[in-house]
Structure 1
Amino acid sequence: MTTKPKAQKFRIRRGSSTANAAATSSDPTLDTAAPTSPSAQGHSQGVGGAMSGTVDSANTVTAETDIDAIRQEGLTGRQLRMARRVAQKSGFAVTSDFDAVRQLRQHGIDPFQRANVLELVTPDDGQTNVAAGQMRAATAKVPADQARVQLPQTVQRKTSLPSTQLGPGENPAERRASEIGRIQRDIAKRRRRNIASLIGRLAMFVLLPTIAAGFYFFTIATPMYGTKSEFIIQQAESQGGGGLGSLFQGTGLATQTDSTTVQSFMTSREAFLRLDEEHGFTEHFSNPDIDAIQRLDEDATREAAYAMFQDLVKIGLDPAEGILKMEVIAADPVKSQDFSDALIRYAEEQVDQLTQRVREDQMSGARANFELAQQRRQTALTELITIQQETETGPVGAEQAALQQRITTLQVELDQEQLNLAGFAGVRRPNEAQVRATENSIAQIENQIALLRSQMSSEGSLTTNDARLRVAEENYAFEVLNVQTAQSTLSTAEIEANRQVRYLSVSVAPIAPDEPTYPRSFENTLLAFLIFSGIYLMISLTASILREQVSA
């Protein structure tokens, strides 16, 4: 990279006096009365007439240099527009925004002062011109040593660009190489400083907390023993072989709801309170031998103990197979196994209670119907026996039996007389007296039989007792059938109740380990490192974004 050396600026205008007049009219501050030397004029008009024009004066060149210096100050567009408006209000003829700043500074006016800016919003142009004239008059009256400085303070910016001023006998290439080396060293120094700052922040916010966590896990943490067990909730198989109900029989889908219910129960406050009351869960974890982080305070609340219970009793459910996997952590392996056995026993009781009400409702209804049917059958049997006894052995039964016997005897005599009458009919000359006597005897016997039968009909005892006996027999048969139906219903209800039975089958029995299961020092330390790194990364990204937004 090369830079051009500074040189005095001269501008040659190709026009004649018209161009000079235009330049003079455009910039009233230029010294237009300065005469041009004859030699310069002759030089510009000489050389065979190849070039004609005039050379600008020193004031013109100074104005150009001042404008270039103002450009290097890095003024904003708003400041330049404000300077141009102040210059126009003050009555200066300017050619550009930088020229406005230059002319205002030459007259001792600060274009960025608040008082000058407020003058731009005056409503009357006449008043504005008057105020501008007064301001210029006041500026002219104040001596130079007593006038208040109104010029803006120029900020000196340090630049690392190579200088354009070369010493005597200095090689530009070597100077450029030295400047580039200095810039590279500065960049490397800044990079090393940033890396050192990053390493310090990482050490403070990531490494030191990770080392502290590793020291705790490897040295201070009390060993814990985890007892694992697995069990499944099963349902009694159906005695029938068909139907969609037997499609999922024996699978985890059949008892998934029960498994979820048992999982919730084993981590509930009810199970915790019962375990604490029977096996001293809180007392065990309040032992002073346990480190302060994992130990319960002696005056710990029930909620704090329950929170620790939820952390140390881990129960998972496999939804595909319906297997419940439990791990109970304690500071003593024997206690860990005792806690596991107690929780499994609580789960068995809970499983038994899940369908106990349904089974009791089914059995109670069927049993009540069966008992009622038996009572009604016994009542029908008693009524039948009573009617039978009244018909056969009672006083009404004896009278009817006597009438029936007399009717039977008279019927035999009637048959005998009718046979005798028929024998007389076979004789050629029967005895009329005997025939008449036989006919009279037959008539009397028939009258007697009709009389006895009328007596039986008038009393109605025989017919009524027979009807009652038949009704009683039918009622008894009907009640016997009801008893059989109720008994069949009771048997069906017993089968359905047995199908509703749930029982807990332990596939992996809880056995206490002989070595500590927790803490897993290396895994926990690595996890702590990842957590602290993530927190630091998130905070640093947030801070960078906020810094960028604020600086923008």
Structure 2
Amino acid sequence: MSEMVFLGEEQADIRRAPPLQSRTAVRRERRYALIFGLLFVLTPTLVTAVYMFFFASDIWETEAVIAVRSVDESPKTSSLMSVLTSNTGLLVGREESYAIVRFVRSREALRILEPKIGFAEHYSDPAIDFYARLPKSADFEQKYAYFENNVQIYYDEFTGYIILNAKAFTPEMAYTLASSISSMSEDLINEYNKRLEDDYLATARREVTEKELQIKDVEERLREFRVKNNLIDPEDSLKMISNIISGLQTEAAKVQAEIRSARQVSQRDTPNLVDLENQLKALNAQIEAEQQRLTGENNALATVLEQYSLLKLKQTIAQDTYAVALKAYESAFAEARRQKGYIVSVVPPRAPEEPLYPRRLMDTFYVFLGALVCWVVIRLLYGGLRDHIV
């Protein structure tokens, strides 16, 4: 009985054991998978290592940190927001900072830099390795894409700083590139300030000019008026004539008093009395003539004085309005100056002392790790798919 049981188990084991040909195929498949896996992982790793250690050109990087500040001298309030913004400068120059970042990232920045520093000439130098350099036949869009890869700039909202990183294949070029971009940023802020000043001062300046012309026009009319009437100042002439009339009237009153005294002494016309009467007639005629100069119809001084007073009033109004316009211009100038921005170089660009890229060991290791992960994923997917089909 025990022999029959043993024979049955042996026959069952024989039925479960895979045939020799099947085991050989499995071993062959595993060997091929191992070889293919080694090739899949080691090939890109070796290619990367050869490129990194024998061909890759050194890349130098410099960093610059700038900030846009304002000469705003408005008084600080005690609110929490004002304290935060006054201490950290979060809102000072924020719009200008974003404008700088947007400009540096634009194609226009590359158009300015290209003739200024020879951007394409440097990055297409044959001494640079074939993979990293800019093709000689690159069009503008290719140059712009290359420029974007080698110039990074962004605005840090928390600190209010603009951080610039520039890469090049020589330390001198990295420094030149960063310095040129910083100069372009300053030029942009200066242009912004000029436009801001023009916007603020254009209306005020135009108003001041108009008032100046009005004053000149009134003064010219006054000059012509004085020449026409042969008078420097009609008011002074009026005072002078009034003084003359007053003096003549006083003199006439004295003569008239003497005449009355003489008649009381003698009823006849004595030579002295006749002389006094003639003198009185002359004084009265002179008084009438002087009064005629003041109130007569033709070129009377009163009429001239009225016209002169009107011109003087216009001159006073023109001067007052000019003073108001000038004060408005000064206020606009102060407001424009208050809102002007300027560049602060927090960290000036410097020529780097050693290349930062490529990181040869790290980059090679990352390629190896990436290829290994890809191979493991492929094996898992293949194994799952095969089990599903079988």
TM-score w.r.t. the length of structure 2 is 0.74
Q: Which of 310, 314, 332 is residue 493 of structure 1 equivalent to?
A: 332
Output one character per residue of 1:129-154: Cα deviation in whole Å (capped at 9) or x when no partner: xxxxxxxxxxxxxxxxxxxxxxxxxx
What residue identity is the alignment partner of 2:65? E
Question: What residue number does 1:15 align with?
Answer: none
Q: CA distance change for structure 1 residues 416 and 194 in 2, over 3 Å: closer, same or farther?
A: farther
Q: Which has the higher contact order (CA 8 A, sep 6+)?
A: 2
Tell me what 1:287 maps to: 125
| Residues in 1 aligned to 2:128 and 2:96: alpha-carbon distance in whole angstroms | 37
- Identity across the alignment (%): 21
1:355 is paired with a residue whose SS is helix
What is the aligned counterpart of 2:295 among 457, 480, 484?
Answer: 457
**Preserved contact between residue 407 and residue 449 of structure 1 (Cα < 8 Å):** no
Gap runs ≥5 in structure 2: none
Q: 1:503 to 1:540 in 2, by over 3 A?
A: farther
Matching residue of 1:297: 135
Structure 1 equivalent of residue 106 of structure 2: 268
Q: Give the RMSD, CA atoms, in angstroms.
A: 4.7
User: Shift of the alpha carbon at 1:284?
Assistant: 1.8
2:347 corresponds in structure 1 to 508
- Mark the CA change 1:495 to 1:432 in structure 2 (over 3 Å): closer, same or farther: same
Cα displacement (A) at 1:294: 0.8
Q: After superposition, give the CA deviation of every residue in 1:34-54 in whole Å (9 maximum; x if it has no partner).
A: xxxxxxxxxxxxxxxxxxxxx
* Residues 1:232 and 1:192: Cα distance change in structure 2 (over 3 Å): farther
Question: Which AA in structure 2 matches 1:283?
Answer: E
Q: Helix, strand or coil: the match of 2:112?
A: helix
Q: Tell me what 1:219 maps to.
A: 54
Distance 1:355 1:198, change over 3 A: farther
Structure 1 residues 369 and 196: alpha-carbon distance in aligned structure 2, compared to 1, 3 A threshold: same
Match runs of 1:207-356 below 5 Å: 207-235=42-70, 237-241=71-75, 248=85, 251-356=89-194
Amino acid at match of 1:505: V
Superimposed CA distance per residue, residues 110-161 of structure 1 (whole angstroms, 9 cap, x where no aligned partner) = xxxxxxxxxxxxxxxxxxxxxxxxxxxxxxxxxxxxxxxxxxxxxxxxxxxx
Shift of 1:348: 1.5
What is the SS of the residue equivalent to 1:212?
Answer: helix
1:421-432, aligned counterparts within 5 Å? none
3-state DSSP class of the match of 2:127?
coil
Q: Which amino acid aligns with 1:265?
A: F
Task: Provide the rounded CA distance (Å) in 2 between the counterparts of 1:231 and 1:540.
Answer: 51
The answer to whether the 8 A contact 1:217-1:521 is kept is yes
Matched, 1:366 2:201: no
SS of the aligned residue for 1:459 comes to coil
Instruction: Identify if the C-alpha distance between structure 1 residues 393 and 267 changes in structure 2 by more than 3 Å, giving closer, same or farther.
Output: closer
1:300-356 deviations in whole A, cap 9, x for unaligned?
A: 333222222211112232121221222222221122212222222122112222232
The alpha-carbon distance between structure 1 residues 298 and 398, as it changes in their structure 2 partners (threshold 3 A), is closer
Question: In the aligned structure 2, how far is the partner of 1:523 from the partner of 1:469?
Answer: 94
- Distance change in 2, residues 1:323/1:189 (3 Å): farther
* 2:346 maps to amino acid: S
> 1:171 Cα shift?
2.6
How far 1:530 sits from its partner (Å)?
4.9
Answer whether contact 1:253 1:321 (CA < 8 A) is retained: no
- Residue 251 of structure 1 deviates from its aligned partner by 1.0
Contact 1:224 1:516 in 2 (8 A): yes
Aligned residues: 372
Which digits, 9 at most, give the CA deviation of each residue in 1:66-105, with x for residues without a partner? xxxxxxxxxxxxxxxxxxxxxxxxxxxxxxxxxxxxxxxx
Q: Deviations over 1:336-386 (max 9, x none)?
A: 212222222122112222232221232333223223323323333454566
Local SS of the residue matching 1:364: helix
Per-residue deviation at 1:208? 3.2
State the alpha-carbon separation in 2 of the partners of residues 432 and 423 from structure 1. 6
Q: Which runs of 5+ in 1 are unaligned?
A: 1-165, 425-429
Please state how far the C-alpha of 1:521 moved relative to its aligned partner.
Answer: 1.9
Tell me, in whole angstroms, the C-alpha distance in 1 between the residues paired with 2:194 and 2:233. 55
Task: State whether residues 206 and 533 of structure 1, in contact with CA within 8 Å, keep that contact through their aligned partners in structure 2.
Answer: yes
Q: Do the aligned residues in 2 keep the contact of 1:227 with 1:328 (CA within 8 Å)? A: yes
1:230, 1:324 within 8 Å by CA — same for their partners in 2?
A: yes
Letter of the structure 2 residue corresponding to residue 473 of structure 1: K
Superposition pairs of residues 43-122 of structure 1, within 5 angstroms: none
Instruction: Find the residue that maps to 1:171 and give its secondary structure.
Output: helix
In 2: Cα distance, 1:465 partner to 1:538 partner:
109
- 3-state SS of the aligned residue for 1:231? strand
Candidates 299, 305, 312, aligned match of 1:466 = 305
1:480 aligns with 2:316: no
Change (3 A) 1:398 1:229: closer
Q: Could you list the per-position Cα deviations for residues 427-454 of structure 1 after superposition, in whole angstroms to 9, with x for gaps in the alignment? A: xxx89969xx9xxx8xx98997996657
SS of corresponding position for 1:314: strand
